[in-house]
Amino acid sequence: MRFLIIRHGDPDYEHDSLTERGFKEAEALGEWLGKCRIDHIYASPLGRAQRTAEPTAKAHGLEIETLDWLMEFPAAIDPPYAENGINAPKRGCPWNMLPQYWTKQKEFYDPDKWSSHPLYADGTVQKVVERIDRGWDELTRKWGYVRNGQIYDISPDADRKAVVALFCHLGLGNALISRITGAALPFVWQTMFLPTSSVTTFYTEVYPWYPDQCHMRLIGLGDVSHLALKGLETSSSGLHSMIDE
């Protein structure tokens, strides 16, 4: 089975929709995914995710099922830059911390310790993460894959060839990657970027010695092949930095 984590197209945040470029991205994605198997489409309730999902849903004749927990990560942070001698304005976005700060926080590399860091002392981020984790586990269970640590037990009635698409957001998509891989969320947030309309693919890897269990293997991160096929450049929307080329 495959799970596709898809970020929305280039966003028009003011109108919770897509820019002209974003609609082109969504159409290119729909044409590309229209040639692949898709069994079910889930989407965030936000307009930019819904608009991105529509061409793919149309190509497959599928309805879009809305899941509230796929909404963009609604928590903010307040990094203590000044207290750490860093000359920069504070930013509330959890996935755009300055490396001069986050790379020195050892807890951010540890999946068991990051949530106890003082930056997350109010518990807001942890509560959102718990909601996302529950949503993911419920979704995989629905498709016959029951989480058992970092392994999934496969139900006898599971469709092992099914492909499920989740249209969501940058911060939320990274939170899913953290949940699936077991990597510390701050580390994933700061080191992995999902371009607009990109596709991140996990597949359920089964070994012959354990045919009724699997784990999730990441086989494609932030794939934008559909944009290249249409001569569209990859958007840097969501990056708060200058890109050093």
Structure tokens at 198: 């990109």
Which domains, and CATH codes, for the chain? 2-80+93-229 (3.40.50.1240)
On the question of pLDDT at 243 being above 70, the answer is no
Q: State residue 240's pLDDT score.
A: 76
Angle 124-142/170-181 helices, nearest 10 degrees? Answer: 70
- Quote the CA–CA distance of 52 and 74 in Å, as a whole number: 20
| pTM for this prediction | 0.96
Percentage of the chain beyond pLDDT 90 is 91
Amino acid identity for residue 39 in this structure? D
pLDDT band per the 50, 70, 90 thresholds, residue 9: very high
Tell me the average pLDDT across 59-65: 98
Structure tokens at 29: 């994605």
pLDDT in tens, 167-226: 999 999 999 999 999 999 999 999 999 999 999 999 999 999 999 999 999 999 999 999
pLDDT in tens, 11-53: 999 999 999 999 999 999 999 999 999 999 999 999 999 999 9
